Structure formats: C-alpha cells, structure tokens
Amino acid sequence: MTFVLPGDVIPTATSQTSFGPGLAPLDTSNQAGPSRARGQFTSSTSSEGNSTESARVVATKAGTLVSSDGKGKKGGVWIESNSRRYTPASRDLVLGTIIARHADGYRVDIGSASMASLDALAFEGATKRSKPNLKVGTLIYARVSLASRDMEPELECFDPATGKSDGFGELKEGLVVDCSLQLCRRLLTPKNPLLPILASVIPFEIAIGLNGRIWFKSSSIDETIALQRVIQGIDDGSLAETKGELEKALKAYMA
C-alpha cells in the first residue's frame, strides 16, 4: 500500500483492473487533467481485448492506495482515506432512507452532499401499472447507477446483469448502524474474516452500504444489539479483530 496525494499520477495495470473512488483517468490528449473526478471505470482496450497501453490514472484525494486481488476476475484499485463524508461512485452499494415521493419516483438520503433520485421503475418487474409503493422513512438497499459531480446521483434496486432484485429493495425491521467508510469497504472484501466469525455465534442477515451504513437483522433484539455493539467496537478500535475476542464480546453482550 502506498500513500498518495491529489494530483499524483498512478501508472497501473491492464484492462483487467477496475478503478474505484479517489481515482480518475488521466487525459493525456490535451493534458487538461482528469475527465471525471470519481466513479468506477476500466482501462481502455483494443478490439482483441488486450490493453492498448498501460492504464494511467490520477489521484483526486489524499489517502492510501489499496488494491484487491480479483482471482481471475477484475481486480480493484481505490484510495482509502479518513473521510466521513460519502462521495457517490458508480456501482456502489448503498443504504438510503426515502425522504420524499413524487410522481416518477423518490428522493433518497444516502449521506452524500446531495440527495439521490430513485425511479419508481428501477425495481425488479416494475411497470407503470405495477410498481412499489414505498413510504417516506422506508430504508432501502440500492446500487448507484449514475454518479457525476454535476448531477445528483441516481439509484436502482435491481441487478442490471440479471434484472433480479438480488437483495436490493426495501429492508424491513432490523437495525441500522453508522460506521466509517473504511470499515464498510473492508467488510465487503471477500477475504475479510469478520462476518464469518460473527455468523458462527449469531445467525443474521446483513446489508452493507459503502456510504457508511450497515443493516442487521437477527432472530432477537438482544442478538441484534450485540452485533451493533461489536461492530461499533471494531470501528472505534476498542475490540481486537480476533476470533476469540469477538466471540467473547458477543456472548458478554447477550448475557
């Protein structure tokens, strides 16, 4: 991992690399700077699928350059920082609260500088005659379909690859925990052991938003609150991220 500053040029890998928040493509045609400030994108490729040249990107914020091993799939590269304000990026998974309704959809609070919009048809199987009727205050799990610094972000509650909901949509009951953006991104990393450790003690449902929100639902209120306290302890550093320590904390909180 490497610490970078805004404006640092980061020559990276190939067409198999996916670039995330904190990185933008370097426009070498006119040296005018990055063509967009955030979002996820891949390096350009030729018609044969090979990289036409080494992907070159520029950092748009200070932080640690982090990469993940895609294991045959597209690996990811992004910048991790201590920011508490969420900046929407295309394809991010987010938890949001509906704050207003209008004829064509909803306005959603996702914790960013501006509210997000959610089209009433952006759900699995939704049509003009048959679409969800969500109330103000409803918690939803969604995917950022469009993110631009010049427009408010747009959301969708289905997987565009399959057309199915795949867990997106309204989240009922449960408990929402606010935590750091870094912890949410770590928990979504496939190799992260924290969630399997917690699930070995308490079975639960979970939805993790890259906007610093986590939703839990277990079979009892006591178990849900125990999970909340453990996650908050991990986030503030008061709990060690070891199997023994986490299991002991969960059992103590449920006692």
The 3 state secondary structure assigned to the chain is: CEEECCCCEEECCCCCEEECCCEEEEECCCCCEECCCCCCEECCECCCCCECCCCEEEECCCEEEEEECCCCCCEEEEEECCCCCCCCCCCCEEEEEEEEEECCEEEEECCCCCCEEEEEEEECCCCCCCCCCCCCCCEEEEEEEEEECCEEEEEEECCCCCCCCCCCEECCCCEEEECCHHHHHHHCCCCCCHHHHHHCCCCEEEEEECCCEEEEEECCHHHHHHHHHHHHHHHHCCCCCCHHHHHHHHHHHHC
Instruction: Tell me what pLDDT residue 38 has.
Output: 36
**Residue 84: its pLDDT value, please?**
67
Q: Which domains does the chain have, with CATH numbers?
A: 2-80 (2.40.50), 93-170 (2.40.50.140), 175-254 (3.30.1370.10)
- How far apart, in whole angstroms, are the C-alpha atoms of residue 32 and residue 116? 29
- pTM attached to this predicted model: 0.75
Q: Residue 46 has what pLDDT?
A: 33
Whether the CB-CB separation of 65 and 10 falls below 8 Å is answered with yes
Hey, what are 100's tokens?
């207003």
| Residue 255: predicted pLDDT | 73
pLDDT for res 36: 34
Angle 186-147-206 from CA coordinates, rounded to 5°: 35
Residue the block writes with tokens 């704050």? 99
- Predicted local distance difference test score (pLDDT) of residue 52: 40
Kindly give the confidence (pLDDT) of every residue in the chain, 255 residues in length, as a single tens digit, with 9 standing for 90 and above. 687 788 888 766 555 667 777 777 776 554 443 333 333 333 333 333 344 445 678 877 777 777 765 544 456 777 777 666 788 988 899 999 999 999 889 999 999 989 999 999 999 988 888 888 999 999 999 999 998 878 899 999 999 888 899 899 999 999 999 999 889 988 988 888 999 999 999 999 999 999 999 999 999 999 999 999 999 999 998 888 889 999 999 989 887
Q: How far is CA 189 from CA 186, 210, 225, 235, in A?
A: 5, 11, 24, 16
**What is the predicted pLDDT for the residue at 201?**
92
- What does the pLDDT read at residue 43? 36
Count Cβ atoms within 10 A of the Cβ of residue 234 and give its class: 0-12 exposed, 13-18 middle, 19 or more buried.
buried
